[in-house]
Structure 1
Amino acid sequence: MAAEQRKLLEQLMGSNLTTRAAQLPLTDPKVCRSYLVGTCPHDLFTNTKADLGPCPRVHSEPLKQEYDSLPEPEKKKLGFEHDYLRDLSSRIDACNRNIDTLQRRLEKTPDEVRQTNALLKAISDLGSTIANGLLEVEILAETGEVGRAYDEYYKVRHAQAAKADKEKELKALSETSGPSGHQKLQVCDVCGAYLSRLDNDRRLADHFFGKMHLGFAQMRKAYESFPKEMRGRYQGGGGGGGGHGRGVQQMDDDMGHVPTGPGGGFGDGWNKGPRGPRAGGGFRPRGPRRGW
């Protein structure tokens, strides 16, 4: 879309814009180095919620061709790849921070945490009561105290019923906890959009093949294509590479199929793998949706 808009602008303004861009040297600060090396992030999200607006620097196809024709030693000497990597790292870090924020919004409230812990403790205590009761029943039966064994077994059955009730409460709390629990929302670990486990395959396909998701997937894939030691230079404030999310292979899989689970939802594999520049994170899945 951005390239089409640029061509339209060139047609309206004549050849002046193209001529001026072509006259610029590769090293001119007005030239977009991300565009020369790979794909400028500004071109990936036009007309989406992640739209970055027009790039303030010049995108010149002749300059890109000139750069591509340079021998590798000359490219390394220019160091444009470092500028591109820094740009990618900044954009991915911003996306990761947004994902974390959205994940926290879906976490349980303190009261829900207390309820969950109380139910877990009750279930554990009842489990111990049942185990000890069954052992007592066995001992009493072996010693011929049938009446006491029958009374003890009645207590065991009562504890088993109470445990089943507590387990049902815990399941209901897990399904409805959090501000959006009833919708079973989850945050896409690539682009930060909200997804629902209740979505059908078509709606999930609209997301995974949407421009915003594919744009972030492309940025993450481009970032991970750089050598690890080179990426490490740009992982100070926002990154340390072992973050949460998905890796290159998982993102390739996203583009090839729509992951499904029971009932048309997405399965457990859609949110695994390294997400990009990040310091000590981890998709639990916790896990950051804004809509799509």
Structure 2
Amino acid sequence: MAAEQRKLLEQLMGADQLMGTGAPSRNAQLSITDPKVCRSYLVGTCPHDLFTNTKQDLGPCPKVHSEGLKTEYETASAAEKAKWGFDFDYMRDMQKYIEDCDRRIDSAQRRLEKTPDEIRQTNNLLKQISDYTKTINGGLLEISVLGETGSVAQAYNELHKIRTAKHQKETCERELKNLQDTSGPSGHQKLQVCDVCGAYLSRLDNDRRLADHFFGKMHMGYSDMRKTYKKLSEELKGRPPPVRHHDDEDSGWGGRSGGGRGPRYGGGGGYKKRGGRW
């Protein structure tokens, strides 16, 4: 909605008015290669437009969103687009926000992990269950041998040991299940972390609540961004970014571009990719 409202205002007032006061005539004459122009907006969707009115709202983009320049870019030839290299800026911009999201996901996941004491208790219970299982299996084999030799009294004694071991094993299994259900800061809530947007999800949520999440603005925004980033990185693989002149230094490789500051990247579209969250 915010993006549509911005387009309408731009048509009515001009992009320079939306950027504020200072140099309206200068902003009105921006060229497509001007570093003040949002290149993510030209190529695709500016990240600032994806998450408005969500927990990850990035606020307004500090760069110019010009519908006229976007149309100019869309109608430009493939050779011109390759010369400008704005798709590299767009990919770098998306990479910045994807990596920020991945860090939040990793941090949220760590908060759900067991404490050292809970890990120790779990390991102890697993060992006890294993020992009781061995005792039971060994006892059953012993009873079989004693039965063949007619040692009835000894067989009954072994059977009593087996029953005791089975009872203790069942007790440990109940304790282990209870520990697994309640361990971690949010175990009683049975939370898990969405590996696309980093939001907490409850395993107890019904289908409607899960659908509200997966079709919500924040989840869809990160999902679309990840898919676009993957597709663009495959298209640019092996293609070096264009050489930028000195007057493009403000928005060159390693500088600011597209409304955000991203990590440096080398030639050939060699972007770092975080684990399979596409």
- The match for 1:275 among 263, 274, 277 is 277
Distance 2:86 2:264 in 1: 18
Q: 1:229 to 1:134 in 2, by over 3 A?
A: farther
Determine if contact 1:186/1:194 at 8 Å carries over to the other structure.
Answer: yes
Distance 2:226 2:65 in 1: 22
Q: Please say if 1:103 is aligned against 2:114.
A: no
Shift of 1:166: 0.7
Distance 2:74 2:46 in 1: 15
Shift of 1:161: 1.4
Residue 90 (structure 1) aligns with: 96
Q: Please say if 1:70 is aligned against 2:66.
A: no
Q: Please say if 1:6 is aligned against 2:6.
A: yes
Q: 1:40 to 1:87 in 2, by over 3 A?
A: same
Give the number of the structure whose alpha-carbon radius of gyration is greater: 2
Where does the alignment leave 5 or more consecutive residues of structure 1 unmatched? Answer: 244-273, 277-292
Q: 1:16 to 1:50 in 2, by over 3 A?
A: closer
Q: 1:229 to 1:164 in 2, by over 3 A?
A: farther
Residue 161 (structure 2) aligns with: 155
Distance 1:190 1:23 in 2: 40
Which amino acid in 2 is paired with 1:137?
Answer: I
Residue 28 (structure 1) aligns with: 34
Shift of 1:153: 1.4
Q: CA RMSD in A?
A: 2.4
Q: 1:30 to 1:242 in 2, by over 3 A?
A: closer
Distance 1:14 1:87 in 2: 25
Shift of 1:22: 5.9
Residue 66 (structure 2) aligns with: 60
Shift of 1:14: 6.4
Residue 38 (structure 1) aligns with: 44
- The match for 2:174 among 157, 168, 172 is 168
Shift of 1:11: 6.8
Q: Please say if 1:144 is aligned against 2:150.
A: yes
Judge which range, 17-26 or 126-135, deviates more: 17-26
Distance 1:235 1:153 in 2: 70
Q: 1:11 to 1:69 in 2, by over 3 A?
A: closer
Shift of 1:241: 3.0
Determine if contact 1:123/1:163 at 8 Å carries over to the other structure.
Answer: yes
Q: Percent identity?
A: 65
Asked which structure has the greater RCO (Cα within 8 Å, sep 6+), the reply is 2
Judge which range, 105-114 or 7-16, deviates more: 7-16
Which amino acid in 2 is paired with 1:5?
Answer: Q
Which amino acid in 1 is paired with 2:121?
Answer: Q
Determine if contact 2:190/2:204 at 8 Å carries over to the other structure.
Answer: yes
Q: Please say if 1:241 is aligned against 2:273.
A: yes
Shift of 1:227: 3.7
Determine if contact 2:15/2:66 at 8 Å carries over to the other structure.
Answer: no
Shift of 1:17: 3.9
Determine if contact 1:34/1:83 at 8 Å carries over to the other structure.
Answer: yes
Q: TM-score, normalised by structure 1?
A: 0.77
